[in-house]
Amino acid sequence: MVELIKSNVNIDFLGKSKFFFGISAALVMLSLFLIFTKGFNYGIDFAGGTVVQVKFENTPDLDKLRNSFKDLNLGEMVIQTFGEPNDILIRVEKTSAGLKETANAIQTKIKEVSGEQKIVIERVEQVGPQVGGQLKNKAIMATIYSLIGILIYVSLRFEFIFSVGAVLALFHDVIITLGIFSLLGKEITLPIVAAVLTIVGYSLNDTIVVFDRIRERIKNSAGKLNLYEVMNKSINETLSRTILTSGTTLLAVLALYLFGGEVINGFSFALLIGIVVGTYSSIGVASALVYKIKKTK
């Protein structure tokens, strides 16, 4: 296995916990300030709009469709496959035009772009902000339930204090990711919610690897090392693995962000932030939080 960092490296991560906590506290507070003052730029999924489902005879060129719709001035629009490659779902931002006018404009443009190809408009419906609000609540609840599940899982596998450290670190990762989305005005859509849940899973995986090593060290050291030394040694021993895993994942996600196209652009951007923040919190925040909590008991 490639050894990016020497196995005998001995960085005093816990000794630098004040520095890490200072950075994290500043980023979390800034993110919360942005979230509560600037808010989010909600996409069609949450803000409401018009949904048109179209069945093509053959697989259409989605980029050609996207470019052709620009002159309709229907606001933000998302075009993606829906099941089969020839089933297309078009979501349009809520406009001043009525449902019928919007559907007619889309249908006319599709016929113009598709040429002789037969198309069937299978569904046209308006999604109101109330439905968007329900989706928003479900997205928040999905994130909270996943964090509660993690709290229980880590408590059973390790002990309760470890689960508190892991969940606080995950909150830290999610809040900073959402804060960057608020700062940049990037859209919050359903794929972004999926990306946030992916970040939670990814970051937890890194943290669990470190916690596992701490548990092994505590068992094997037989009291020769104190908790401070055990935690520092465990973070150092897993440092090479953590950075290599995160680095290779980051490269793959970066390729998706640069070349994956418009549909997964927001999803891959959220993952890019999440991987960087999650790796940082796994190394500098999660174990230090557990150590601080244990010391105050």
Confidence at residue 227, expressed as pLDDT on a 0 to 100 scale:
85
Nearest CA to 72 among 98, 102, 112? 102
282 Cβ neighbours under 8 A, 6+ residues apart: 169, 203, 206, 207, 209, 210, 242
Confidence at residue 261, expressed as pLDDT on a 0 to 100 scale:
75
Confidence at residue 254, expressed as pLDDT on a 0 to 100 scale:
94
* φ/ψ of residue 222, rounded to 5: 50, 45
Confidence at residue 97, expressed as pLDDT on a 0 to 100 scale:
61
**Secondary structure in 3-state letters for the chain:** CCCCCCCCCCCCCHHHHHHHHHHHHHHHHHHHHHHHHCCCEECHHHHCEEEEEEEECCCCCHHHHHHHHHHHCCCCEEEEEECEEEEEEEEEECCCCCHHHHHHHHHHHHHHHHCCCCEEEEEEEEECHHHHHHHHHHHHHHHHHHHHHHHHHHHHHCCHHHHHHHHHHHHHHHHHHHHHHHHHCCEECHHHHHHHHHHHHHHHHHHHHHHHHHHHHHHHHCCCCCHHHHHHHHHHHHHHHHHHHHHHHHHHHHHHHHHCCCCCHHHHHHHHHHHHHHHHHHHHCHHHHHHHHHHHC
22 Cβ neighbours under 8 A, 6+ residues apart: none
**Identity at 195, one-letter amino acid code:** A
Confidence at residue 3, expressed as pLDDT on a 0 to 100 scale:
60
Confidence at residue 132, expressed as pLDDT on a 0 to 100 scale:
65
Angle between helix 286-296 and helix 190-221 axes, rounded to 10 deg? 60
Within the chain, which residues score under 50 in pLDDT?
Answer: none
Confidence at residue 277, expressed as pLDDT on a 0 to 100 scale:
94
